[in-house]
Amino acid sequence: MKAVTVVGASLAGLGAARALREQGYTGALTVVGAERHAPYDRPPLSKDFLLGKAEAADLALAAEDDAALEVDWRLGTPAAALAPGRRAVVLADGTEIASDAVVVATGAAALPLPGAPRLAGVHTLRTLDDAEALRADLAAGSPRVAVVGGSFIGAEIASACAALGLETTVVEAAPAPLAAVLGPEVAAAVAGLHAANGVRLLCGTPVAALTGTDRVTGLVLADGRAVAADVVVVGIGARPAVDWLAGSGLELDRGVVCDPGLRTALPGVVAVGDAARVRRADGTTARAEHWSAANDQPPVAVRNLLAGRTVAAYARVPYFWSDQYGVRLQFAGHTRPGDTLRVVEGALADRAFAAVYERDGRAVAAVALDRPRAFTRLRKGLAA
């Protein structure tokens, strides 16, 4: 193997480059990034960055010793195609990068509101450029903010807006935010943070339309209610950024399908992070949009890439966290409807607790609000 190209220059892409060198790969190493920025950490974008407590330089992922990786960085131009026949990654400007092996780490892109017109004041939040644009809009006067989507990113943005003293409304199409992820009891406790911090939460009604001509003036819900807003942030999810792989021979199904070792249908191609959909031993597939997966998958994928076969499986318990209104939420494992919640420490009503989700008497997931120590103990007890 003489030329490896990592496509994607975020946490997973940088992790892949580091893993390649750590595991003894000495050939040419190219990292392609669609954004002009060197790798940076995304989670703070919806937290400290919006509040002005962190700047772009604070988010840099690369350390001083990463210079020794001897990476040929190709930043600012997205990959447009993978041409396995020619063993090349093709960039949007036509440049071809000869590659014996490829790591797909292109992540995901924020979903826009379907059918909505392009209006000034409407944002999604995924990239540093997105965050800078949103932060500038939030600082212009004292805008009223409507956040579409009450999931983690929406709640974190609402939390930041409340901390900035802005009148904020969260609009959630489902009857309750995060119920599918956290179960009804924990979801209710978390949703209660909005009202407790002066943020209005409207549930159960999707957005019908945005209003405004050049600049957004608000939105209208499906039941006819109107929400006036000077800034609208759409946080309704992300889709894996894998369109560039159409026609490559890779199996695409809401991500790049790969085996438990993150190897794809093409020899010499692995996938990591938000773009990777892992097929489990039982045939089901799952894709994680978690920082922890993007951080932990590359060493496994690289090991299998260099071995030329699957010698290791990625088997870590999914884990994520969210900071909202000064409260830290942590979650690990897999839960589904019907699991029983058992509070181990604290109380749901206090929004300070650690709990496990049990199925057939066995803990399958753990959750906590502001109980990091108890949470870690529970998390360590979960089987992969």
Partner 1 sequence: MIYACHLDDLPKGESIRVMADVPIAVFNVDGRLYAVDDTCTHQNASLSDGWLEGCFIECPLHEAAFDLRTGAPTCLPAKRAVRTHAVTVAEDGAVYVHAAVAQPVAEGAA
- Give the binding site for partner 1 (CB under 8 A): 18, 41, 44, 48, 53-54, 57-58, 61, 63-64, 291-292, 295, 321, 328, 330, 372-373, 375-377, 380
State the nearest-atom distance from the C-beta of 372 to partner 1, in Å.
Answer: 4
Closest distance of CB 172 from partner 1, Å = 26
Dist. CA 368–CA 345, nearest whole Å: 9
β-pairing verdict for 340-347 and 352-359: antiparallel
Judged by CB, which is closer to partner 1: 44, or 149?
44
Q: To the nearest whole angstrom, how small is the minimum distance from the Cβ of residue 177 to partner 1?
A: 23
Of 277 and 290, nearer to partner 1 (C-beta) is 290
Q: How far apart are the first and last CA of the chain?
A: 32
* CB closer to partner 1, 17 vs 79: 17
Give 68 or 281: the residue with its C-beta nearer to partner 1: 68
Rounded Cα distance, 10 and 98, in Å: 21
Q: Least distance in Å: CB of 186 to partner 1? A: 19
Determine which helix (DSSP H) or strand (DSSP E) holds 119, and give its type and residue range. none
Q: Given the complex with partner 1, which of 152 and 291 has the nearer CB atom?
A: 291
Strands (E), 183-253: 200-203, 207-212, 216-221, 226-228, 231-234, 238-240
Tokens of 19: 């893993």
Write down the least CB distance from residue 39 to partner 1, Å.
Answer: 12
Q: Which amino acid is at 333?
A: G
Supply the minimum distance, in Å, between the C-beta of residue 367 and partner 1. 14
Nearer to partner 1, 45 or 256 (CB): 45
State the burial class of residue 67 (Cβ atoms within 10 Å of its Cβ: 0-12, 13-18, 19+).
exposed
SS3 333: strand
Q: What ranges make up the beta strands (E) of 48-192? A: 72-75, 79-83, 88-91, 96-98, 101-104, 108-110, 122-123, 145-148, 168-172
The answer to whether 68 and 232 have CB atoms below 8 angstroms apart is no
10 Å Cβ neighbour count for 236? 20
Tell me whether residue 56 or residue 188 sits nearer to partner 1 (CB atom): 56
- CA 83 to chain CA centroid, Å, is 27
Cβ proximity to partner 1: between 105 and 148 the closer is 105
Q: Degrees (nearest 5) of the Cα angle 334, 384, 107?
A: 70
To the nearest 10°, the Cα dihedral for 138, 178, 108, 301?
Answer: 130
DSSP 65: G
Closest to partner 1 by CB, 41 vs 358, is 41
CB-wise, 25 or 291, nearer to partner 1? Answer: 291
Q: How many residues does the chain have?
A: 384
Task: Please state the closest distance from residue 63 (CB atom) to partner 1, in A.
Answer: 4
Got the DSSP string for 123-136? E--SSHHHHHHHHH
Min dist CB 171 to partner 1, Å, is: 29
Q: Which amino acid is at 206?
A: P
Tokens matching residue 222: 């499906």
Minimum distance of partner 1 from residue 369's CB (angstroms): 13
Q: How far is the CB of 273 from partner 1 (least distance, A)?
A: 15
